[in-house]
Amino acid sequence: MSPPHRVNPQPISLSPRQPKDPTTTKMARSNFSVLTILSVILLLPVLSLSFSPDSPSDRRLLVLFDDLSLKSSHSIFFNSLKSRGFDLDFKLADDPKLALQRYGQYLYDGLILFSPSIERFGGALDLAAVLDFVDSGHDLFIAADSSASDLIKSVATECGVDFDEDPSALVIDHRSYAVVGTEGDHTLIAADDFIESDVLLGENKIEAPVLFKGIAHSLNAANNLVLKVLSASPAAYSANPSSKLSSPPSLTGSSISLVSVVQARNNARIMITGSLDLFSNRFFRSSVQKAGSPKKYDKSGNEQFVAELSKWVFHERGHLKAVNLRHNKAGETDEPAMYRIKDDLDFSVEIYEWSGKSWEPYVANDVQVQFYMMSPYVLKTLSNDKKGLYHTSFKVPDVYGVFQFKVEYNRLGYTSLLLSKQIPVRPFKHNEYERFITAAFPYYGASFTMMAGFFIFSFVYLYHK
């Protein structure tokens, strides 16, 4: 479930700096630099594993192309990644030296597949290797286009997304296309049907439509981890624009997804789209006007959309951690080993969100805790203090057995939190029940008058004459 233990990149700051004292002898300085180099070399294998639960951002990305000219035609996207601190490694998809891992360690934290037409990866990479990469908690970014190969399509299928099987089909929309003087076949779509989620697309609303030109995909209904981020309009359909439509298109309307994301159970994140051009400089810089709308935007929404989405995919947003799960009897501070039925207890947990640089308090009003044995006996929403501490109190139910405190937090776009802590609950001891019940007073009275009567009778019987 959790990603393999990886050490965060901080150790580099431990490597000694150049000595500041100018009187240091040259000898010592050279020794020192040798030491520095040695320590760097020793640290290198450690540094290559930069992902850690303490800083969950992926730092090293492998970018695969069909053609290296994409590096130049999509440079704005790559430069924005670089400026956010990512380390990009560009390779041709058929490079015979391709490898995702060496000596059992992954060399990268994320894989960007911008090679739609590749039929066979080079080197040690294949479908199974890509899936293993995701299964071990790494992120994947796939952009296909009308040349999408079976390999890319099968990677997408494994992720819960089915591309249109017709290789010549493109998304066509005669109602919400982008008005461009030189594009007449309405395959350049101005899409603005975004998912409503601040965590996926940022807090700033994307005003301008996103330009899309490519192939359609649909979500696999059996996969409940995949989400449609950008959907086509109800009038869209997927077909070959240059041939007559004889049978109804397999994908129509809003069931067509233009951009989808998956968050796997191990919190690996995947983005899939049918348009490689979506990321191109040309679309980033292009002005956009949606058909039928008088408003013309100087710049398409692509740059903002892609930047926000990539922040999510590479764990700069929406990555939660929960720590310090605590519970105690009301009025006490220590965690008991066991509760009695009907005890009053306090429960608290701290939740933080990774902001790309540090852990910030996570504020939400829908975090819930369950007191669970086979099924939840108590399910309560936690209140928070805006500093990441979530708290509630409740009475232990009058059922004894082995219970669990369970925090199951699954929200759209956030990593899921699954915490549980086991705690037994016992019934009352025999001496913990109520004594001298009022209702029993007549019985007590009866016994004691009986006893008093007997005592008096013993005198009368023995000494009466």
Partner 1 sequence: MARSLEGFLVLIVAALIYSSAVASVFQPISDSHRSVALELFTPLEGSFSSLAETYEALRTFEVLGIDKKTDINTAACQSVLETLGSSSSALKDLFYALKVKGILKCEIRKDVFEGVTSRLQATVSSAGALLDFYYSVGGLVIIKDQISKDDLYLADAEGVFGSIKALSQSDGRWRYNSNNPESSTFAAGLALEALADVVSLSSSEIDQSLIGATINDILKLFDSIEKYDDEAFYFDEKLVDAHEHQGPLSTTSSVVRGLTAFAAVTSGSLNLPSGKILGLARFLLGIGIPGDAKDLFNQVDSLASLESNSVSIPLILSLPATVLSLTKKDTVKVKVNTVLGSNAPPLTVKLVGVFRSGSKDTSLVEGQELKFNPESAVYALDALPKSVDVGKYTFVFEMVLHDPDHLNLYATGGQTQIPIFVTGLVKVDSAEIAVLDSDLGSTETKKIDLTGENTVSLSANHLQKLRLSFQLSTSLGHAFKPHQAILRLTHESKVEHSFVVGSSGKHFEINLDFLGLVEKFFYLSGKYNVQLTVGDAVMENSFLKAIGHLDLDLPEPPEKAAQPPPQLLDQKLRYGPKAEITHIFRVPEKLPPKELSHAFLGLTLLPLLGFLIGLLHLGVNLKNFPSSSVPAMFAVLFHLGIAAVLLLYALFWLKWDLFTTLKALCFLGAFLMFVGHRILSHLASISSKLKSA
Site for partner 1 in 142-201 (CB under 8 A): 145-147, 172-175, 180-186, 195
Contact call for residue 221 and partner 1 (CB under 8 A) = yes
* 76 binds partner 1 per the rule CB under 8 A: yes
Q: Which is nearer to partner 1, 352 or 394 (CB)?
A: 394
Residue 95 or 132 with smaller CB distance to partner 1:
95
Minimal distance, residue 451 CB to partner 1, in Å: 5
Contact between 56 and partner 1 per CB under 8 A? no
Should residue 129 be labelled a site residue for partner 1 when binding is judged by CB under 8 A?
Answer: no
**In the complex, least distance from residue 246 CB atom to partner 1, rounded to whole angstroms:** 7
Q: Interface with partner 1 by CB under 8 A: which range of 42-50, 238-246, 314-322, 344-352? A: 238-246
- CB of residue 436 vs partner 1: minimum separation in angstroms? 9
Residues 328-357 that bind partner 1 (CB under 8 A): 342
By the rule CB under 8 A, 281 interacts with partner 1: yes
Q: What is the closest distance, in whole angstroms, from the C-beta atom of residue 441 to partner 1 in the complex?
A: 4
Site string for partner 1, 421-460 (x = CB under 8 A): ----------------xxxxxx-xxx-xx-xxxxxxxxxx
State the SS3 of the chain. CCCCCCCCCCHHHHCCCCCCCCCCCHHHHHHHHHHHHHHHHHHHHHHCCCCECCECCCCEEEEEECCCHHHHHCHHHHHHHHHCCCEEEEEECCCCCCCCEECCEECCCEEEEECCCCCCCCCCCCHHHHHHHHHCCCEEEEECCCCCCHHHHHHHHHCCEEECCCCCCEEECCCCEECECCECCCCCEEECEECCCHHHHCCCCCCCCEEECCCCEEECCCCCCEEEEEECCCCCEEECCCCCCCCCCCCEHHHCEEEEEEECCCCCEEEEECCCHHHCHHHHHCCEEECCCCCEECCCCHHHHHHHHHHHHCCCCCEEEEEEEEEEECCCCCCCCCEECCCEEEEEEEEEEECCCCEEECCCCCCEEEEEECEEEEEEECEECCCCEEEEEEECCCCCEEEEEEEEECCCCCCCEEEEEEEEEECCCHHHCCCCCHHHHHHHHHHHHHHHHHHHHHHHHHHCC
Taking CB under 8 A as the criterion, the residue among 5, 244, 386, 429 binding partner 1 is: 244
Answer for which of 321, 343, 397, 419 binds partner 1 (CB under 8 A) is 397
Q: Does 210 bind partner 1 (CB under 8 A)?
A: no
Minimum CB separation of residue 81 from partner 1 in Å reads: 13
29 vs 175, beta carbon nearer partner 1: 175
CB of residue 136 to partner 1, shortest distance in Å: 25
Name the minimum Å distance from CB 306 to partner 1: 14
361 part of the interface to partner 1, by CB under 8 A: no
